[in-house]
Structure 1
Amino acid sequence: MEWQEFSGSWVLIPENPIGIIHFLGGAFVATAPHITYRWLLENLAKKGYIIIATSFLNTLDHKSIALNVQNRLENILYRLEYRESIELSYLPVYGLGHSMGCKLHLLIGSLFEIERAGNIFISFNNYPLKQAIPFVENIIPSLRDNLKNYWKIDNNLEFEFTPSPEETKIIVKENYQIRRNLLVQFNNDSIDETSTLKPILTDLFPDMVSVLTLQGNHLTPLGQDIDWQVGDMFIDGIGQWFKDNFSQDLSNLYKEIYRWLNPLI
């Protein structure tokens, strides 16, 4: 099972698939989701899910991004079914998002007529532009000036994502249509806004929204479980320490997602 590129998205197709996961990553790590989120996505594929990881470049217009990634998903599904002869009509489709990817799935589920068996939101983030840039700069040093040049942002002018955080909340409250949802937050994540999303979804669909708080931080979904070469006692010790301190958080995230997808297993 290898990654294939279709229409700018990266796709994994297991034998005898049991479902489809449309993945959207964080704002500045979503251009190569098959690399940045490789371990998580590949392990879900091993459980029988077709993974469609759609890359995108962040701009101020998040509605346009949502429309673009949804159109690309539909094109890929058409190609898989009619050109690759893969039977998809009976497979449930789930949305899986991390950080900004959560906002895009919320917009997709609110603005377009789609069918989803459920959505999974990891570390939901809906910050305004002025707050978003400093947070990203903390993750990727010296990025602020590049972002301002890319978006042509003048420090003397007011710019904001569209829809704005408040507009996004209104759109979701009035239009969101996906009934089953999983919200995942981490105990060491200072930029998570799951607490603002939970009441909105719970009001819409009581008893259909699950919320989990796991060990980890905002970057946990991007982790990679390194396959250490065994044999050397020192290397084995380092590998075990790494797994105990970092990989376990990622592994727990994967297990909880799979459990939610398959509650009877």
Structure 2
Amino acid sequence: MSPTWQTDGQTWFLLPSQPRAVVHFLGGAFVGVAPQLFYNRLLEELARMGMAIIATPYSTDIDHAQLALTAVQSLRSSLHRKALEHLPVFGLSHSLGCKLQILSCLTDPSVGAQRQGNILLAYSNAGLDQALPLLRLLFQTWPQQQMTDLWRMWMGSSSPPMNLWVEFEPSPTETNRLIEEQYPVRNNLLLEFRQDDIDDIPLLYQQLCRRFPGHTEWQHLEGDHLTPLGFSYPFRPGAEFSPIDALGQLVYQTLLTPNQRMIRHIQAWLMAELAKLKKPSLIDPTEVRN
């Protein structure tokens, strides 16, 4: 029986009866506010293979350091309250969520040191000019009250930050420096989509290979920046299967194919990493000398 979504009012969970590992998930900008909705196909598939899902929602903001800190605090609290602290933990994230996942591993050294691996989908480390050019322009030209109302609708907070046109915190340059010097997670899976021209995977791959040679896998898959999004609503044909039903089913399956292939790659990587954890050490403890 597949687990069903639970929430404590802040975090969303999918908890198998006998979980094999924990996957901490952070979604992309704006859609990360409701991971149980926008990413349910991916997360439910992972839960069916025995992964306990902790999905931390967030409202998009320019203070990425604070978002990462909140994500870490949510993870630590959830692991304790759900009695999952004994299980290996993997990170999984999409777009901006990848940056937050990386920053979260830097924010709390104990979390970063204990992380078995991170899966980063369409990683984005864009600056404000690249990420939100239209929103930035609107804040500079529209009346303040109109923009406040728009911000409240999009972001869920009462007012927009006055320094929106400055830069994200940390900036792309500072984030790159932190990755180069401090990123603690050795095992990483980077998934790049062939029709995605806004990710920053190539540079991240080079950074991780320099920091941990031989521990980063980079895969190119069909799809675009939105491929990780997916809904678990199966196609339901009419009482009499008609040509229209057949066309609808074909379109539905075509749209889901890249998403499903991505899920299979993620599952295979997780299975391989879990298998490594079960292998006995090649070093005899009695031979270790101080």
TM-score normalised by structure 1 residue count: 0.88
* Structure 1, 103-112 or 159-168: larger mean CA deviation: 103-112
Where in structure 2 are the equivalents of 1:92-111 lying within 5 Å? Answer: 92-111=88-107
Q: Distance in 2 between matches of 1:235 and 1:49?
A: 37
Query: 1:141: which partner in 2?
Result: none
Query: 2:129: which partner in 1?
Result: 130
Give the aligned residue type for 2:88: P
Query: 2:251: which partner in 1?
Result: 242
- How far residue 234 of structure 1 moved from its aligned partner, in angstroms, is 2.2
- How far residue 151 of structure 1 moved from its aligned partner, in angstroms, is 2.8
- Secondary structure in 2 matching 1:11: strand
CA contact (8 A) 2:128 2:165 kept: no
Provide the identity percentage: 37
- Correspondent of 1:12 among 6, 11, 14: 14
* Structure 1, 117-126 or 235-244: larger mean CA deviation: 235-244
Query: 1:206: which partner in 2?
Result: 213
CA contact (8 A) 1:24 1:54 kept: yes
Unpaired runs of 5+ in structure 2? 137-146, 153-157, 277-290
Query: 2:75: which partner in 1?
Result: 73
What is the root-mean-square deviation of aligned Cα atoms in Å?
2.2
Label 1:205 to 1:172 Cα distance change in 2 as closer, same or farther (>3 A): same
- How far residue 131 of structure 1 moved from its aligned partner, in angstroms, is 1.2
Q: Distance in 2 between matches of 1:45 and 1:250?
A: 16
- Correspondent of 1:177 among 184, 199, 203: 184
**Residues 1:120 and 2:116 aligned together:** no
- Correspondent of 1:261 among 256, 261, 270: 270
CA contact (8 A) 1:6 1:76 kept: no
- How far residue 236 of structure 1 moved from its aligned partner, in angstroms, is 3.8
| Number of equivalent positions | 250
Q: Distance in 2 between matches of 1:98 and 1:69?
A: 14
The structure with the larger Rg is 2
CA contact (8 A) 1:111 1:175 kept: no
- How far residue 110 of structure 1 moved from its aligned partner, in angstroms, is 2.1
- Secondary structure in 1 matching 2:53: strand
Label 1:228 to 1:158 Cα distance change in 2 as closer, same or farther (>3 A): closer
Extract structure 1 runs of 4+ deviating beyond 6 A. none
- How far residue 153 of structure 1 moved from its aligned partner, in angstroms, is 4.6
Q: Distance in 2 between matches of 1:216 and 1:244?
A: 14
Unpaired runs of 5+ in structure 1? 82-87, 138-144
CA distances 1:168-223 after superposition (whole Å, capped 9, x unpaired): 00011111000000000101112111011110111111110000111111111112
Query: 1:191: which partner in 2?
Result: 198
CA distances 1:71-108 after superposition (whole Å, capped 9, x unpaired): 01111111111xxxxxx344210000100110011111
- Correspondent of 2:24 among 22, 25, 37: 22
Give the aligned residue type for 2:105: G
Q: Distance in 2 between matches of 1:134 and 1:147?
A: 15
CA contact (8 A) 2:40 2:232 kept: no
TM-score normalised by structure 2 residue count: 0.80
Q: Distance in 2 between matches of 1:162 and 1:68?
A: 14
- How far residue 229 of structure 1 moved from its aligned partner, in angstroms, is 2.0
- How far residue 224 of structure 1 moved from its aligned partner, in angstroms, is 2.3
- How far residue 40 of structure 1 moved from its aligned partner, in angstroms, is 0.5
Label 1:158 to 1:37 Cα distance change in 2 as closer, same or farther (>3 A): closer
- Correspondent of 2:172 among 156, 160, 165: 165
Give the aligned residue type for 1:23: F
- Secondary structure in 1 matching 2:82: helix
- Correspondent of 2:229 among 214, 222, 229: 222
CA distances 1:7-56 after superposition (whole Å, capped 9, x unpaired): 51100101211010000000111111000101110110011000000001
Q: Distance in 2 between matches of 1:206 and 1:244?
A: 38
CA distances 1:117-151 after superposition (whole Å, capped 9, x unpaired): 100000000111111114889xxxxxxx5359953
